[in-house]
Structure 1
Amino acid sequence: MSHDPSPHDVRSAFKRELISANLWRTRIVVVGTASIAGLVVVAFTWLAESAFAQFNKIADFAWWVPLIWTPLLCAAIVWVTRRFVRGAGGSGIPQVMAALDPAISGGRRPLLVSLKISFAKIGLTSAGLLGGLSLGREGPSVQIAAGVMLAARRWLPRGSGISAHSLLVAGGAAGIAAAFNTPLAGIMFAIEELSRAPEQRNSGLIVAAIVLAGLIAVSVHGNGPHFGVIHPGPIGLSLLWPGLLAAVVCGFAGGLFARVLIASLRGVSPDLPTRWRARYPVRFALGCGFLIAVIGVLSGGATYGSGNEATRSLLENEANVPAAFALFKFVATWLTAWSGVPAGIFAPSLSIGAAMGQNIASLTGYPYSAALIALGMVGFLAAATQAPLTAFIIVMEMVDGHSMVLSLMACAVVASTVSRVLTPPLYSALATIQLPPRPVHPASPGEPPERAP
């Protein structure tokens, strides 16, 4: 026999939702910290852009100056990172993902995500742009905002229901939302990359914190799309074959990029560069910095920095980006990450994809290059990160590409599928490097030892 559900007690619900002091304190702490996280990312954005503007002034002095300045600064950043804040190295997203793993205890979590690391990440990533390295600030923004949000835990009341896992998810996603000026992408990033517990996906307070951090960036930078409004032309059958080519080519290139990064950063290969990197990390960074500067000189300065200027030029159909830009930027970004400096790959990936889209437009004779550039951006980013929904929403919001919703989504799915054939997910693979070794189970006689799953 079925029973009617118990009646909803309006008075109890009213007290629980609107009168509880602990609940209001929890809301104020989470929302207030999310606002601070958004402001910190905005300040980081300003500092990073100012640093790169200073590099451009240095590079304008003489073409050969970066050949000295860039390697010296790259080596100095790696020395400081390894000496004082090892947790600040790399993108920052793998550290946040590792901090979310149950294998990481509270005592080790501050080695991956903390306020100290957040402020070090701001300074060291900005220093990388001051040196003209090919890096993005979006991945670092994830670790920075996560560190700010995690610091809020000490002010939460007992029994708040907000765990360290919740704060890390909210902070990491808020970093994406504020860095790209795209709140929806922040929510999708939390679902697709960070959230591993189903209850996180339905937490209204956590989603509110993510959106608020994004809106803080919107209020400072304005509500316009990051790269302006594109004019993709008519979206019809004529785009099908060039678009499919862009999805497959960018999927292969993005998967290759992720595979190369994983192989390089794991450091288990017996080749000479890997051994040199392990034994002489600062000298290795010096060599990487020199090669990055050489590529910058050969490309006329186009590969320096995040690549946002090149992406914008391509979307605006300006002709100041070299034809081989995609290859140059691919190698420069790989060398930057391999050197060991704090560096993200989101913005460089968008610029590589944009250049590949432009090249495919020229190859196929498709008259509306902006459409293929947008598809190249989403295809390469989706393939490199294997986060197709996040990539699709980021690009859609950054170029106001609502008329291309289905095309962008299809391209992201195809490119990500191609990438999965070539490589495991980039950030998950790099996160395992941050985790402690798995315990080894004793084996039966005659059998090799078995690691825990």
Structure 2
Amino acid sequence: MNREPDFLENLRAELSSGRLWLDRAIVLAYAVAAGLFVVGFTLASDRAFGLFHRLHQAQPWGLLLWTPALTAAIVWATRRWFPGAAGSGIPQVKAALHPALPPERRGRLVSLRLTVAKIGLAVAGLAAGLSIGREGPSVQVAAGVMQHARRWLSPASTIDARALLVAGGAAGIAAAFNAPLAGVVFAIEELYGRLETRASGLIITAIVLAGLVAVSVFGNLSYFGVIRVPHVGWSALGPGLAVTLASGVAGGLFSRLMAASLTGAPGRLNAARARWPLRFAAVGGMLVAVIGLVTGGATFGAGSESVKGMLAGHQDLSPLQTLLKFIATWMTAWCGVPGGIFAPALTIGAGIGNSVSQLAGGGLGPALIAMGMAGFLAAVTQTPLTAFIIVMEMVDGHSMVLSLMASAMLASLVSRMISRPLYESLADHMVATSIGSPSPVVAPAGSLQRGPKTAGVP
């Protein structure tokens, strides 16, 4: 028969173990450190892209030399010293959590050394004007800091390496987007599938604490400000549905294209990339530079300023510019540069919403842009809850909760008909490569992976 909890007995049990409280303090101290690393990464990224912007203003044609050369240098350094830092960073954390990966090989994907490398290489990518973001890399950055805490915990601690990786990865999202709630949902939906009861309270506290570090530095402000949404009636149903379906199809195609490119699917271009990676990177950097010059700089960098301009109503991203941003982001990732796709995906989604709003009229611009952002991000990542909460917190769009949720859910459903989840595909490929398996990686029964348990390696 269950008896009621005894408060004094439970309090004595909690206070009797000094080592337990020391372990908790260590984890929370590392959460603060993870938040500080992400804040430093954010400030360095802003300065690097500011440097590139000044170069673009002063010597625009010089970018045809600057961007390819720096792209090749970044890929050379990554391949030579830090192969685990290539790409977004989210697949690395997911692969490190994969039950098939031997624990001793996690350091090749997530470590303090890779954290420092990721920051430096991604900042260099923004200095080159490449179409990358810092939000995905922040997941690997913070996870690399948090996993380092394990060496200081007691052997009997219930806080294992997997819990620290989840806490770190989610803390990276919370600090990067200034959105602690998004970090918690990301931990559940993308990284872990569920949280162990015995450690969930401490993990969530660590995530929120890292987010609060970012809030204390940048202020409690929405990333893209506050959108002004007019009264939305039935007349908005058609444009909203058009944005959602277009975002779902475009996001699914983007995800499929990225997975085929980054997992070495058979093809002449992938063969050329494998044989001449530096030449491929230089050509890719040249293509990104040409696209950026053709679009007047609209496709350079993460694209956050373009989104702010569209939401404020004093800047447009044409359908052609949106398509070219799509190509520039894919090309940058294909080169093997460390950098994320979250921010570029939000820009592409905003461009889709802006294009539909110009046809629909009626003052629906901000609402359709926000729906496009949530829809395209959800379609690319196939994590609709994380996508809609990120956008809601970034634009302070609480008045659009149902619209954003519906857009993210439907776009993700459409994407699933076209492509497997991108990060899951890349993580499975990393695990198969790491363990030297030529066959698909099959997760053991009861594992915490989302979606299909068999991951094909193209």
Contact 2:159 2:199 in 1 (8 A): no
Question: Secondary structure at the residue paired with 2:229?
Answer: coil
Q: In the alignment, which of 272, 275, 280 is matched to residue 276 of structure 2?
A: 280
Structure 1 residues 304 and 83, CA gap change in structure 2 (3 angstroms): same
How do residues 140-151 of structure 1 correspond to structure 2 at under 5 angstroms? Answer: 140-151=137-148
Q: Deviations over 1:168-220 (max 9, x none)?
A: 00000000000000000000000000014541697101000001101110111
Aligned to 2:85: 88
CA contact (8 A) 2:248 2:415 kept: yes
Partner of 1:107: helix, strand, or coil?
A: helix
Specify the code of the residue in structure 2 equivalent to 1:216: V
1:418 aligns with 2:395: no
Alignment partner of 1:179 out of 170, 176, 179: 176
Q: How far 1:62 moved relative to its partner? A: 2.1
Structure 1 equivalent of residue 301 of structure 2: 305
Listed one character per residue, the Cα deviations across residues 104-155 of structure 1 (whole Å, up to 9, x for unaligned) are 2222110000000000000000000000000010010000000000000011
State which drifts further: 107-116 or 12-21.
12-21
One-letter amino acid of the counterpart of residue 217, structure 1: A
Structure 1 CA distance, aligned partners of 2:455 and 2:53? 50
RMSD of the TM alignment (CA)? 1.7
Structure 1 residues 25 and 110, CA gap change in structure 2 (3 angstroms): same
| Alignment equivalent of 1:357, drawn from 334, 353, 358 | 353
Match of 2:218 among 221, 232, 240: 221
1:440 Cα deviation after fit: 7.2
Q: How does 1:196-211 map to 2 (within 5 A)?
A: 196-199=193-196, 203-211=200-208
C-alpha offsets along residues 2-36 of structure 1, whole Å, 9 cap, x if unaligned? Answer: xx224534443112223320111111011110011
Q: Percent of aligned pairs with the same residue?
A: 55
User: Contact 2:188/2:195 (CA < 8 Å) preserved in 1?
Assistant: no
- Counterpart of 2:189, as a letter, is E
Residue 102 of structure 2 aligns with which residue?
Answer: 105
Whole-Å Cα distance in 1 between the matches of residues 348 and 439 of structure 2? 42
Residue 292 of structure 1 aligns to which amino acid in structure 2?
V
Structure 2 residue matching 1:206: 3-state secondary structure: helix
Shift of the alpha carbon at 1:321? Answer: 3.9
Aligned partner letter, 2:322: A
Match for residue 378 of structure 1 among 374, 388, 394: 374
- After TM superposition, the score normalised by the length of structure 1 is 0.94
Aligned to 2:10: 13
2:284 counterpart letter in structure 1: C
Mapped partners of 1:420, 1:41: distance in 2: 31
What is the one-letter code of the residue matched to 2:104? Answer: G
Matched position secondary structure for 1:159: coil
After superposition, what is the alpha-carbon deviation per residue over 1:268-324, rounded to whole angstroms, capped at 9, x for unaligned?
A: 21x221111001111100000000000000000111000001111110111364452
Residue 239 of structure 1 is matched in structure 2 by 236
* CA–CA separation in structure 2 for the residues paired with 1:202 and 1:24: 13
Which segments of 5 or more consecutive residues in structure 2 lack a partner in the other structure? 441-453
1:60 partnered with 2:57: yes
Corresponding residue of 2:121:
124
Q: 1:183 to 1:82 in 2, by over 3 A?
A: same
Which portions of structure 1, spanning 4 or more consecutive aligned residues, are displaced by more than 6 angstroms?
none
Conserved 8 A contact 1:325-1:352: no
Distance 2:146 2:68 in 1: 34
- Amino acid across the alignment from 1:391: A
> Paired residue for 2:46?
49
Cα distance in structure 2, aligned partners of 1:183 and 1:440: 38
Q: Once the 2 structures are TM-superposed, how far is the Cα of residue 63 of structure 1 from its aligned partner?
A: 2.0
The 2-side partners of 1:439 and 1:231 are apart by 52
The change in CA–CA distance for 1:6 and 1:201 in structure 2 (over 3 A counts) is closer
Q: Which has the larger radius of gyration?
A: 1
Higher mean C-alpha deviation, range 197-206 or range 82-91: 197-206
- Deviation by residue 1:373-427 (Cα, 9 ceiling, x = unmatched): 0000000000010000000000000000000000000000000000000000000
Retained in 2: the 8 A contact 1:440–1:452? no
Three-state SS of the structure 2 residue aligned to 1:275 is helix
The question of whether the paired residues in 1 share the 8 Å contact of 2:139 and 2:173 is answered with yes
With normalisation by structure 2, the TM-score equals 0.93
Task: Count residues in correspondence.
Answer: 440
Aligned positions of 1:313-392 closer than 5 A: 313-319=309-315, 321-392=317-388
Q: Deviations along 1:216-259, whole A, 9 cap, x unmatched?
A: 10111111101000012112222211111111110000111101
